[in-house]
Amino acid sequence: MKKRGIGISVGTHPAGLKGGGDPSQAQIRLKPDGTFDLLNGAVDIGQGCKTILRQLAADELDVPLENITHQNIDTDTGPMCTGTFASRVTFMDGNAVLAAAADLKRKIREWAAEYFECSPADVEVANNKVFVRGVPEKSLTMGEVGAMVNWGGKFLVGTGAYTPGPGQQFDPETGKMTAIASLAFGCCVAEVEVDTETGVVDVLKLVQVFEVGKAMNRLLCKGQNNGGAMMGIGFGLTENICPYYPSMDFAVHDLTDYVITTAADMPPVMVEDIVEVPHPNGPRGAKGYSEMTASLAGPAILNAIHNAIGVWVTDYPATPERILKALEAARA
């Protein structure tokens, strides 16, 4: 007999190291052709940070996205970055990039003020140009500025750094910890069909919604949401290194034995969305949230299984063997 059920899960996820003390740095330089090299230590492991950080630099400098090149080929020689983990890069490195771009813009204004013989306060950097406010004839393209600066013996580099605050420890008596850069929130609803004869679970529908502060790139968020859902389904239904721990019987020996969810296993109906509540300290209001996308599908699926067959499977993954044992125990 096949039975259907619906389950829900909610969660929250911090960006960066709990307790503060989680710095990132960035550097950006104006090149002779008027384009820019953005240098920082964040590694793109598929979450799209190379795009996001270029977006932020381009937005601050008001230049085309394609005019920003992101360089992170060597973390030893590049600006410091604590690392790509804990959903921290958008928040920490994003703020560092904004600071570096603002610093470079200030230096471009100062150079241009000397060239135009005016006050830096009267110089605008906008629309890929540098010009004196209210004086149309005093205007240079960024390409002209890049050539004149570099071939004129100058080197304009902006630097920036960000940390959410000094590091602190948990209160030894209360366990209280107040220093967190940001918290994102999410909710997942799963609809499943459970075969009570075989124990096989099919996820029919998955709905995920995340509050991300401000979505820097909607397409990347969608990819993150769907990719995280795939991982969460794997956590909930298939992934298990030692299925009979502490016994090592049938333990996974290599990745060829490890059953993960693939595109073929995704539910026929997938719905994802975001909610935007800009964070006051986030770069353009953004938060980090990506890891949470893998955390919510598993508990929602287990709750849906309970709703379908009336018994709890409380250990991941909810394999057919565990479901049949839970049904057998309920009947005993």
CA distances from 3 to 61, 110, 204, 216, 285 (A): 57, 70, 12, 40, 43
Amino acid of residue 70:
H
Residue 269 structure tokens = 């109906």
Q: How far is residue 143's CA from residue 149's CA, in Å, rounded to a whole number?
A: 10
- Residue with structure tokens 């306060």? 121
Q: In one letter, which amino acid is 265?
A: D
- Residue 181 sits at φ, ψ, to 5 deg, of -60, -50
Sheet holding 2-14, edge to edge: 2-14, 183-195, 201-211, 269-275
Q: Is there a contact between 24 and 40 (Cβ–Cβ < 8 Å)?
A: yes
Euclidean distance between CA atoms 282 and 103, whole angstroms: 18
Q: Which of 114, 291, 321, 328 is catalytic?
A: 291
Q: How do beta strands 135-141 and 2-14 pair?
A: unpaired
Q: How many C-beta neighbours within 10 Å does residue 231 have? A: 18
Q: Count Cα atoms within 13 angstroms, Cβ side, for 241.
A: 4
Strand partners, 191: 6, 205
Backbone angles phi, psi at 7, to 5 degrees: -135, 160
Token pair in block for residue 3: 């039975």
CB 162 within 8 A of CB 100: no
**What length is written for the chain?**
332
The question of whether 117 is a catalytic residue gets the answer: no
Catalytic center residues: 291
